[in-house]
Amino acid sequence: MAKNIAEQIVEMLENANVTRIYAVTGDSLNHLNIAVKKSSIQWIHVRHEEVGAYAAAAEAELDGFAVCAGSCGPGHVHLINGVYEAHRSHIPMLVIASTIPSEEMGMDYFQETNTIKLFDDCSYYNQMITRPEQVQRTVQTAIQHAISKKGVAVIGLPGDVSELEAEEATTSAQIFKTNPVIRPSDDELKKLAALINENKKVTLYCGVGAAEASAEVIELSRLLKAPVGYSFRGKMAIQPNNPNEVGLTGLLGFPSAYHAMHEADVVILLGTDFPYQKFMPVKNKIVQIDESPERLGRRAKLELGLAGDVKQTIMALLPMLQEKTDTDFLNEQLALYEKVKDSQLEYVKDFGKEDAIQPEYVAHTLDKLAKKDAIFTVDTGMCCVWGARFITGTGERKMLGSFNHGSMANAMPMAIGASLAHPDKQIIAMCGDGGLSMLLGDMATIFQYKLPIKLIVFNNRTLGMVKLEMEVGGMPDNETDMINPDFALVAQAMGYPGKNIHKPEDVENAIKECLDYNGPYLLNIFTNPNALALPPKIEFDQVLGMTKSMAQLMLGGKMDEALETIKSNYKHMKGLL
């Protein structure tokens, strides 16, 4: 019996080494579902398509490529947030958007959406299959776009077309995973070497684009006596075994990295598209090296902008450099970093009180007890801060989050994808109470597939980052409070253990118990709602805004809340002086 188009697509996905599709099945997607059932690919039945897209994004970031799908109308719209996440993070992912019968298109049919318009802003390739002759060429081209351009490719697939008899194409059905060597020209490298050799103080700042060049970054740093800062996405690769690292800068970062960049004569940006211009220096010379030349110069005024793979570029550059002998600048930055780290640990020593456990203490304890090859996922907001500042890179750990798109609710869905792709690894989701409650239903997916995910809920009963944004803007926080269900009971209702932790003295044993449990486990920790994450650079208007908001709270009768906020964060203030 001849195969249909759905079966042909699944066969091509098998040949591309796809092992699972994340989706909610339904009407126009059903033929694909049945084709998957007859194949080696696993259909992962999530409760919400957004979760499926996030899970696929996590798998793709870890392993290089993944697939999610959604059926017509609401299924497409539900996918879109996770699809944006993958595309903005440059993660290769294929989206199969099954849709209404082709003869009904343009007729305002039930659940009709225009997939070309809908996915246009979050994909590199976005086409509709309408004829059997298109299938192989379209699928092959879509996957080729996703893996080569590092982003999302979308295939629209009408339900009636998916059941048509397949036809063989005359073009290639093979997927080509190319790995070219890209680096700047010799003349460009000579200009860079001359700039570095004639300047005394150099700082390196690394993003995720330098993740495969850790050893080369360390050697460059050693040769130049250069401190090394990094972005959040670059941390897990650049921090380990790096004697000259000085931490992160940006909203989640440390004063040490900010200082090292601003005090240098030359700052070299390696594989980073760091978006926060206010944290970039403006009075020194800046060099940017990135594999995508279109990114050069859009974040800072550059002395040099070079296109190339960071590893290959450094390898070609090293022989042209003169080793620096003056270590004063480096030693100053390392000394400041040690001071900053000591200041951070003050919250580990003073770990809060009942129902106001310091989140820094929780994250530090989690870091200490987690395996050296654990995969962490972090919700956007305060959990990102605690992950950035307290989870240590070991060279084997990974950390996933919505670092570019900045969406809430990503940690638990990403943990699903990470756990399915790497069942041998310890998967830890650092969830905010706001994020977890947004996509709560897929806690059931964790139970359905028996995924040993550890959900650590930083339950501060508020949208903490939004609260901080309002307060530094001079506004008293409003409608940021969360009236939550008992998350531990929710976990138990879903089929796995959940425990509430109210006292700081119970935190360490509770985390040990959670991590040692053979299966999924939720730990609901009642953290301090007034713990704020202050950036390494405080503007005067932010200080003024915080002062105004505290005054408004006090004048509005919320004296206790204002005093608790000040008391909870005075150590941060001291550390930034």
Q: What is the pLDDT of residue 534?
A: 57
Q: What is the pLDDT of residue 449?
A: 97
Strand pairing report for 352-353 and 356-357 = antiparallel
pLDDT of residue 561: 46
Task: Judge contact between 43 and 33, C-beta under 8 A.
Answer: yes
The structure tokens listed for 254 are 């440390």
3-state secondary structure of 247: strand
Q: Which residues contact 430 (CB under 8 A, 6 or more apart)?
A: 363, 366, 376, 377, 378, 379, 383, 386, 387, 411, 456, 458
- Give 150-189 as a DSSP string: TSEEEEEEEHHHHTSBP---SS--------------HHHH
- Tokens 């022989």 correspond to what residue? 319
pLDDT reported for residue 345: 81
Question: What is the pLDDT at residue 84?
Answer: 97
- The answer to whether 327 and 225 have CB atoms below 8 angstroms apart is yes
Per-residue pLDDT of the chain (577 residues; tens, 9 = 90+): 689 999 999 999 999 999 999 999 988 899 999 999 999 999 999 999 999 999 999 999 999 999 999 999 999 999 999 999 999 999 999 999 999 888 888 888 888 899 999 999 999 999 999 999 999 999 999 999 999 999 999 999 999 999 999 999 888 888 999 889 999 999 999 999 999 999 999 999 999 999 999 999 999 999 999 999 999 999 999 999 999 999 988 667 778 898 999 999 999 999 998 877 777 888 899 999 999 999 999 988 999 999 999 999 999 999 999 999 999 999 999 999 998 888 778 777 878 999 999 999 999 999 999 999 999 999 988 898 899 989 999 999 999 999 889 898 999 999 999 999 999 999 999 999 999 999 999 999 999 999 999 999 999 987 666 666 666 666 666 667 778 999 999 999 999 999 999 999 999 999 999 999 999 999 999 999 877 655 544 454 544 444 444 454 444 544 444 445 545 554 554 444 4
For the chain, the distance separating the N- and C-terminal CA atoms, rounded to the nearest angstrom, is 75
